[in-house]
Amino acid sequence: MDDRTVRQHVTDELNFAPMIDAAQIGVAVENGVVTLTGHVRNYAEKGIAEHVALRVRGVRAVVEQIEVRYPDNIRIGDEALADRCARVLEWDVQIPERSVELKVEKGCVTLQGSVPYYHQKADIDKALRRLAGVTDIVNLIAVKPPAQPAEIKARILAALRRSAKDPDTIRVQVDGDTVILDGCVDAWRERELAERAAWSAPGVRAVEDRLTLAC
């Protein structure tokens, strides 16, 4: 699929998404790599726009350069925003108590600490991105403790057998706490399933996705 067609499909998909104002988002495509520019009303919309672009057939990767521009009447100071973020973490029973530290500077939330599972790290990011006033999130939370490579691989393969259409086309390697996915899948959804299976294994701190799409 040529870049002009991919760009049109991405633009149409953004216009079809009711959660974002697509008129404020620019789309450029080069060799299947989509660059998103412009501005949105909150940080959550940045993630939505990126996810929308990734699900379009022919998109190989997305470079997100969208700026968050909050209306002046809902601007929130860093101290108040930090308090809101801390309260969200305190009330979430899935997050180990006192496992995460945060700081806020000009709306950018930096997270540090450690949690046992990657999904906890991702859930924290997901919960905070919905807060008004957040302009960016730097998630430096570590995933501990590490698990044995053989156990990690076995869990990922078992998850793929339960969910993937053709799990035998996906190869899994484990190097310490890093998972390497290789092979070929026929849809972006299958790639997302493989990544989700890898990140769900306890002790995984990094995933290298080398999967290719069969176009």
Give the model's pLDDT for residue 146. Answer: 59
120 and 159 part of one domain: no
Q: Is the pLDDT of residue 102 over 60?
A: yes
Give the model's pLDDT for residue 182. Answer: 93
Q: Which of 51-55, 86-90, 184-188 has the least mean pLDDT?
A: 184-188
Q: Which of 113, 143, 173 is the last residue in one of the domains? A: 143
Q: Is the pLDDT of residue 26 over 90?
A: yes
Amino acid at 4: R
- Tell me the pTM: 0.50
- Whole-angstrom Cα distance, residue 139 to residue 120? 12
Give the residue numbers spanning the domain of 174.
Answer: 149-213
Q: Is the pLDDT of residue 213 over 90?
A: no
121 and 153 part of one domain: no
177 and 197 part of one domain: yes
117 and 64 part of one domain: no
The full length of the chain comes to 215
CATH number of the domain residue 202 falls in = 3.30.1340.30
86 and 127 part of one domain: yes
Nearest to 207 by CA among 140, 144, 118: 118
Compute the chain's Rg from CA coordinates. Answer: 19
Position 208 confidence tier, pLDDT thresholds 50, 70, 90: very high
131 and 155 part of one domain: no
What ranges in 74-148 are assigned the alpha helix state H? 78-91, 118-128
120 and 156 part of one domain: no
- Whole-angstrom Cα distance, residue 215 to residue 212? 9
Give the model's pLDDT for residue 145. Answer: 64
Q: Which of 42, 68, 94 is the last residue in one of the domains? A: 68
Q: Which of 30, 46, 68 is the last residue in one of the domains? A: 68
Top-confidence residue, 141 or 215? 141
109 and 126 part of one domain: yes
118 and 139 part of one domain: yes
- Tell me how crowded residue 175 is: count the other CB atoms within 10 A of its CB: 10
For the chain, the domain total comes to 3
Q: Give per-residue pLDDT as tens, 40-52.
A: 888 888 888 988 9
85 and 115 part of one domain: yes
